[in-house]
Every structure is written in structure tokens, then in C-alpha cells.
Amino acid sequence: MIFDRYYKVSSQKKGNGTGLGLAIVKRILELHNININVHSTPGSYTSFSFSMPAIR
């Protein structure tokens, strides 16, 4: 659900933001046929990664 537009985690302390950032990033990567990977450790951290081919 984190990639859904306007999705915000209810435990978020501040109400700032629209919940569009990850949805936009994912869509841009999809348009370039690039996968995004997510690894999360609850209560600790979340990391996002992707790989792009080198331009020659």
C-alpha cells in the first residue's frame, strides 16, 4: 500500500505531505522498465533500491 497514491501511515506524527512521493517514483521507474525493491525492519528502518543500466 505504500506505493498507493495518497496513502499515509496513520502513525505518522506530522500530517504534512500528500502521500504522492512513492507513487510518483514508482511510476517513473515503471515507465523505464525498472523495478523498485523495498526492505523493511518494523520499528527500525525501511530501505528502497533500484538498478539502472549504464549508458554507453
CB atoms inside a 10 Å sphere around CB 26: 20
Q: Is the entire prediction scored with pTM above 0.85?
A: no
The average pLDDT across 25-36 equals: 91
Rounded (to 5) percent helix, strand, coil in the chain: 20, 20, 60
- Contact in structure between 3 and 26 (CB atoms under 8 Å): yes
Mean pLDDT of the chain: 82
For the chain, the structural domain boundaries read 1-9+16-56
Q: What is the pLDDT of residue 11?
A: 56
Q: What is the pLDDT of residue 4?
A: 77
The average pLDDT across 26-51 equals: 91
Report CA-CA distances (Å) from 19 to 31, 46, 56: 20, 16, 35
2-22 pLDDT, tens digit per residue, is 777 776 666 555 667 777 788
